[in-house]
Amino acid sequence: MTSNTYTLQILAGDGIGSEIMGEAKKIIGWINSNSDITINTRDGLIGGASIDTYGNPLDDTTLEQCRNADAILLGAVGGTKWGDIEYNLRPEAGLLKLRKELELFANLRPALVFDALIDASTLKPEIVRGLDILIVRELTGGVYFGEPRGIEDLGNGQRRGINTQVYTTMEIERVARVAFDLARKRGNKVTSCEKANVMESGLLWREDVTALHEKEFKDVELEHMYADNCAMQLLRNPSQFDVIVTDNLFGDILSDAAAMLTGSLGMLPSASLGQVGSVALYEPVHGSAPDIAGLGKANPLATILSLAMCLRYSLDQGVMADKIEQAVKAVLNSGTRTADIMADNCRQVSTSDMGDAIIAELDK
């Protein structure tokens, strides 16, 4: 085996998962046939598909396979079929477990506006042209995991819902370090977002990020911003941002807002990274889109761009990643579109045709 041989764990998941993953596999096939890179794929189940087979959304054997892979490429999980199941056994719980077990604490979500899709944004072209933001969201801590949590019966006809926002210095530093490192390879600026004005956890976040910056990253520009202001600035003047680093809850919301600047959910990839050298997870930002599942309408580009991120960050194959991203740009420029990004004077194609168009571009 050469050092260019990798094992990629594939978890297609539910809904449109198998359709979009089919197109990513075409690209992997092309890479295997046309370069010195060999990507061996291994399929596993997650989400509803895993519930139907194993009775739980992420089986231990699948988790073990994920641990032993060089990287994981995931489609999407969820669907109404599993909507009534207990909270911690639902499809989405499989994804949360995977992130937690593999300690994937940094979620990278690029918001990139392709010139060909500039009119798909709800914002004016002059506001979003050339936009290239990277949101780094803390993924394994904060209010989604903090204890105590639950719903209490107060006994007087009232109930109380509790969640706890909690962060340690270690959790803040490791995600901030990822953001600073990435900023050095991009625009060299980090905006750190919290609510230090009203939350102690936010104050700690601000102090720890400042201390880390002082100690290790003085060459990178650092600015602090309250998360609500960041939401406003994303709509007012998004090109002021390079890398935004923020906690789990604010990151969930701000990255969705940033995503919509680009106009289409079907175009957005993501990466979830752990410690340097450990296995990472790549997936499109969108969900399982049950409304279009099986209809050949899904846009596979977010998954294909997630594969490109995987090549860049986990497999150290940046040249191939660039090649795939260039092919996506060229296909969009040629007017080839799936329904979600369709525009005047363009040619609407199916999920599978879009994958073929990328292959044809790579062949050139």
Active site residues: 144, 195, 228, 252, 256
Whose Cβ is closer to ligand NAD: residue 45's or residue 209's? 45
Whose Cβ is closer to ligand NAD: residue 121's or residue 288's? 288
Among 340, 349, 354, 362, binds ligand NAD (CB under 6 A): 340
Tokens in use for 115?
């010139």
Query: How many Å apart are CA 136 and CA 270, to the nearest integer?
Result: 10
Residues contacting residue 225 through CB under 8 Å, at least 6 positions apart:
191, 192, 193, 233
Among 49, 190, 292, 309, binds ligand NAD (CB under 6 A): 292
Among 57, 79, 202, 263, binds ligand NAD (CB under 6 A): 79
Whose Cβ is closer to ligand NAD: residue 195's or residue 286's? 286
For residue 283, the minimal CB distance to ligand NAD (Å) is: 6
Among 238, 269, 287, 355, binds ligand NAD (CB under 6 A): 287
Q: Does 58 interact with ligand NAD (rule: CB under 6 A)?
A: no
What angle do the packed helices 227-236 and 248-261 form, to 10 degrees? Answer: 10
* Torsional class of 6: left (φ above 0), alpha (ψ -120 to 50), beta (otherwise): beta
Among 209, 259, 298, 354, binds ligand NAD (CB under 6 A): 298
Phi and psi torsions of 314, nearest 5°: -100, -35
Binding mask 241-280 for ligand NAD (x = CB under 6 A): ------------------------xx--------------
For residue 199, the minimal CB distance to ligand NAD (Å) is: 26
Number of residues interacting with ligand NAD: please give it, by CB under 6 A: 21
Whose Cβ is closer to ligand NAD: residue 201's or residue 351's? 351
Cis before 148 (ω within 30): yes
Stretch that binds ligand NAD, among 31-39, 118-126, 246-254, 285-293 (CB under 6 A): 285-293
**C-beta of residue 8 within 8 angstroms of C-beta of residue 280:** no
Task: Give the CB-side neighbour count of residue 215, counting CA atoms within 13 A.
Answer: 9
Coil, strand or helix at 106: strand
Query: How many Å apart are CA 345 and CA 357, to the nearest integer?
Result: 17
Phi and psi torsions of 312, nearest 5°: -75, -50
For residue 154, the minimal CB distance to ligand NAD (Å) is: 30
Between β-strands 280-284 and 269-273, what pairing exists: parallel, antiparallel or unpaired? antiparallel
For residue 170, the minimal CB distance to ligand NAD (Å) is: 26
Can you say whether the dihedral through the CA atoms of 344, 347, 267, 14 is positive or negative?
Answer: positive
For residue 293, the minimal CB distance to ligand NAD (Å) is: 8
If one counts every other C-beta atom within 10 angstroms of the C-beta of residue 278, the result is 12
For residue 112, the minimal CB distance to ligand NAD (Å) is: 16
- Give the Cα-Cα-Cα angle 328, 305, 347 (nearest 5 degrees): 35
Q: Does 299 interact with ligand NAD (rule: CB under 6 A)?
A: yes
Residues contacting residue 85 through CB under 8 Å, at least 6 positions apart:
51
For residue 344, the minimal CB distance to ligand NAD (Å) is: 19
What DSSP letter does each residue of 321-336 carry, written as one string?
HHHHHHHHHHHHHTTE
Residues contacting residue 39 through CB under 8 Å, at least 6 positions apart:
5, 6, 7, 8, 28, 31, 32, 315
Whose Cβ is closer to ligand NAD: residue 81's or residue 224's? 81
Q: Does 92 interact with ligand NAD (rule: CB under 6 A)?
A: yes
Among 291, 345, 363, 364, binds ligand NAD (CB under 6 A): 291
Among 31, 73, 76, 311, binds ligand NAD (CB under 6 A): 76
- Residues lying near ligand NAD in the complex (CB under 6 A): 16, 76-79, 92, 95, 265-266, 283, 286-292, 298-299, 302, 340
